[in-house]
């Protein structure tokens, strides 16, 4: 009976473990990019800001239209409003004309002391000195700015994805390479133990082999910790809880377009520069709004009475007219507001010029970084040939007892360092390339660059193959 219970518990725990495991997602870079664009909260936030501005723009469009409102009023006067007829009656009696006798009213009531009205009001601005037009153009600039922010956010996240996707690819490959080093050190430890037992090497060399195993284990664990950190960052960027297998390889291109090509593209396509242009247009329209304060406001006004209580019969049921409002003096407030708005225009123009200079400098730096990565890779190609041969010779010499354990360990570490170095150089290259494309306004072309047939591949053995 107890065996059956233990078996049931084991099956239950096994099923729980299966369901708790995350699904493994094998993603190409373009797949990860699609996931990020669909799920990332920063992009959704930027898109929500644009939608907000689009609704606000519709409100400014409504400024061209009349405003119609309903109003109701109740008033109580201290007495009825009317005309005293006593004087008129006396005057008529003096000339022998009877005013109707003693029953004639002494006062003609025009409006009762209590009155209530309800009606429809209309006001339609027909001239505001350009204020409404400037407000609409300002909102158009806000919409453009919001779109540029979306593009900027996408480009920044694209670069972030490159850093984390290929960084995770690098960390995975590094774990594999450090595992290879550990396997080689374990094999070397076994060989050293046999040679020591046969009296072919000293005990110190065997101890050095043991030390190399401990060091290799530490390096491997450090690489695994780095991989776990980068994986969590990548999951955060593409918004997923599943485990990820990065399929797209690191790469390097020895030849790309000239630096002038990227600078010219940035001046036209960079979202940051476009955002500054939108801010400048917004500042100009704000200045136009302040200048419109010097002009009169003309509006068509009207009212239609729809209900009343005790309203004088002589009052009209409707009226329509023209209203003019012109502020002639406001304590110099308009003057200073206009000057402040003009100063804002100047400030944005200075910032625009500085932004152009900064972008140009940054693109030159990134382009030079790419050139340095290409040079580093060519140096590593030469170093790899030496490291491979040095490792082969060291192992053979140690097996024959004419080389030390340190020589074997050093040769293995040098070979691994070159292999990891190639991956790091490529990772630096793809990150710099992503930033170059980001500031050039061409982030969407990164996938195209990653698939060019003349790209350098991850492994030395595959660098001349497709």
For 91-133, what is each residue's pLDDT tens digit?
A: 555 555 555 555 456 677 878 889 999 999 999 999 999 999 9
Domain annotation covers residue 68: no
260, 258, 266: which is closest to 439 by C-alpha? 266
Q: Which H/E stretch holds residue 24? A: strand 24-27
pLDDT of residue 109: 81
Both tokens assigned to 388: 């491979």
pLDDT of residue 51: 95
Contacts for 261 with CB less than 8 Å, ≥ 6 apart: none
Alpha-carbon separation of residue 362 from 153, 259, 266, 435, 439 (angstroms): 18, 11, 11, 9, 8
Where does the pLDDT of residue 191 fall: very low under 50, low under 70, confident under 90, or very high at 90 and above? confident
223, 175, 184: which is closest to 410 by C-alpha? 184
Cα 190 to chain centroid, rounded: 55
User: CA-CA distance, 152 to 42, in Å (whole number)?
Assistant: 11
Among 93-107, 156-170, 194-208, 240-254, the least confident range: 93-107
Domain annotation covers residue 286: yes
Per-residue pLDDT for 438 more than 90? Answer: yes
134, 80, 130: which is closest to 108 by C-alpha? 80
Domain annotation covers residue 311: no
pLDDT of residue 18: 39
CB 427 within 8 A of CB 439: no
Contacts for 278 with CB less than 8 Å, ≥ 6 apart: 141, 142, 144, 145, 148
Among 55-59, 68-72, 201-205, 254-258, the least confident range: 201-205
User: CA-CA distance, 220 to 269, in Å (whole number)?
Assistant: 44
pLDDT of residue 80: 84
CB 201 within 8 A of CB 195: yes
Domain annotation covers residue 313: no
User: Number of C-alpha atoms within 13 angstroms, CB side, residue 308?
Assistant: 18
User: CA-CA distance, 59 to 42, in Å (whole number)?
Assistant: 26
Q: What is the mean pLDDT of residues 133-150?
A: 95
Give the three-state DSSP class for 85: coil
Cα-based angle 258, 259, 263 (whole degrees, multiple of 5): 125
Domain annotation covers residue 308: no
Among 248-262, 331-345, 399-413, the least confident range: 399-413
Q: Provide the number of structural domains found in the chain.
A: 1
CB 280 within 8 A of CB 352: yes
Taking only the tens place, the pLDDT of each residue in 367-391 is 999 999 999 999 998 899 899 999 8
Taking only the tens place, the pLDDT of each residue in 418-437 is 999 999 999 999 999 999 99
47 is in which domain, residue-wise? 24-63+129-296+330-462
Q: DSSP labels for 118-137?
A: EEEEEEEEEE-TTHHHHHHH
Q: What is the mean pLDDT of residues 185-193?
A: 87
Q: Which H/E stretch holds residue 74? A: strand 67-76
Q: Model pTM?
A: 0.80
Alpha-carbon separation of residue 420 from 158, 174, 386, 445 (angstroms): 25, 6, 15, 27
User: CA-CA distance, 437 to 392, in Å (whole number)?
Assistant: 42
Per-residue pLDDT for 293 more than 60? Answer: yes
pLDDT of residue 93: 57
Q: Which H/E stretch holds residue 108? A: strand 107-111
Number of other residues whose CB lies within 10 A of the CB of residue 211: 15
Q: What is the mean pLDDT of residues 136-158?
A: 95
Percent of the chain with pLDDT over 70: 89
For 107, which DSSP code? E
CATH number at residue 270: 1.20.1600.10
User: CA-CA distance, 10 to 16, in Å (whole number)?
Assistant: 10
Q: Which H/E stretch holds residue 91? A: helix 86-94
Per-residue pLDDT for 254 more than 70? Answer: yes
User: CA-CA distance, 201 to 211, in Å (whole number)?
Assistant: 16
Q: What is the overall mean pLDDT for the chain? A: 88
Number of other residues whose CB lies within 10 A of the CB of residue 347: 13
Domain annotation covers residue 257: yes
Per-residue pLDDT for 411 more than 90? Answer: no
Q: DSSP labels for 249-317?
A: PP-B-S----HHHHHHHHHHH-HHHHHHHHHHHHHHHHHHHHHHTTS-EEEEEEEEEEEEES--TTS-S
What separation, in Å, do the N-terminal and C-terminal C-alpha atoms of the chain show? 62
Domain annotation covers residue 69: no
Domain annotation covers residue 100: no
Helix, strand, coil tally for the chain in percent (to 5): 70, 15, 20
């Amino acid at each position: 009976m107890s065996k059956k219970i233990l078996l049931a518990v084991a099956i239950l725990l096994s099923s729980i473990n299966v369901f708790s495991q995350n699904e493994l997602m094998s993603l190409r870079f373009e797949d990860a990019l699609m996931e990020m664009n669909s799920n990332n909260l920063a992009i959704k936030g930027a898109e929500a800001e644009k939608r907000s501005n689009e609704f606000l723009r519709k409100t400014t469009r409504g400024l061209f239209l009349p405003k119609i409102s309903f109003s109701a009023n109740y008033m109580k006067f201290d007495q009825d409003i009317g005309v005293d007829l006593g004087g008129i009656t006396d005057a008529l009696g003096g000339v022998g004309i009877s005013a109707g006798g003693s029953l004639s009213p002494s006062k003609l009531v025009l409006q009762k002391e209590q009155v209530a009205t309800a009606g429809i009001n209309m006001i339609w601005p027909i001239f505001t000195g350009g204020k409404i037009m400037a407000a609409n153009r300002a909102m158009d600039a806000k919409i453009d700015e919001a779109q540029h922010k979306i593009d900027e956010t996408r480009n920044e996240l694209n670069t972030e994805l490159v850093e984390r996707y290929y960084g995770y690819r690098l960390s995975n490959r590094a774990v594999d390479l450090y595992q290879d080093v550990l396997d080689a050190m374990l094999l070397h430890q076994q060989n050293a133990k046999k040679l020591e037992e046969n009296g072919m090497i000293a005990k110190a060399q065997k101890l050095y082999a043991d030390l190399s195993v401990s060091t290799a284990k530490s390096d491997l664990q450090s690489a695994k910790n780095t991989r776990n950190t980068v994986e969590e960052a990548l999951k955060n960027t593409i918004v997923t809880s599943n485990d990820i297998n990065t399929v797209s390889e690191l790469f390097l291109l020895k030849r790309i377009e000239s630096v002038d090509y990227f600078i010219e593209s940035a001046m036209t396509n960079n979202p940051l520069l476009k955002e500054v242009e939108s801010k400048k247009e917004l500042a100009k329209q704000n200045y136009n709004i302040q200048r419109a304060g010097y002009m009169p406001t003309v509006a068509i006004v009207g009212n239609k009475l729809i209900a009343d209580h005790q309203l004088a019969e002589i009052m009209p049921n409707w009226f329509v007219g023209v209203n003019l409002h012109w502020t002639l003096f406001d304590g110099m407030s308009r003057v200073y507001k206009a000057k402040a708005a003009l100063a804002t225009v100047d400030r944005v123009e200075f910032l625009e010029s500085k932004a152009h200079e900064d972008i140009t400098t940054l693109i030159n730096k990134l382009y030079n970084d790419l050139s340095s990565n290409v040079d580093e890779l060519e140096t590593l190609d030469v170093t790899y040939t030496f490291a491979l041969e040095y490792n082969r010779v060291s192992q053979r010499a140690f097996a024959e007892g004419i080389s030390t354990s340190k020589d074997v360990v050093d040769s293995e570490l040098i070979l691994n360092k070159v292999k990891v170095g190639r991956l790091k150089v490529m990772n630096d290259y793809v990150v710099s390339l992503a930033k170059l494309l980001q500031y050039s306004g061409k982030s969407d072309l990164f996938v195209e660059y990653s698939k060019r047939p003349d790209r350098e591949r991850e492994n030395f053995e595959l660098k001349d193959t497709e």
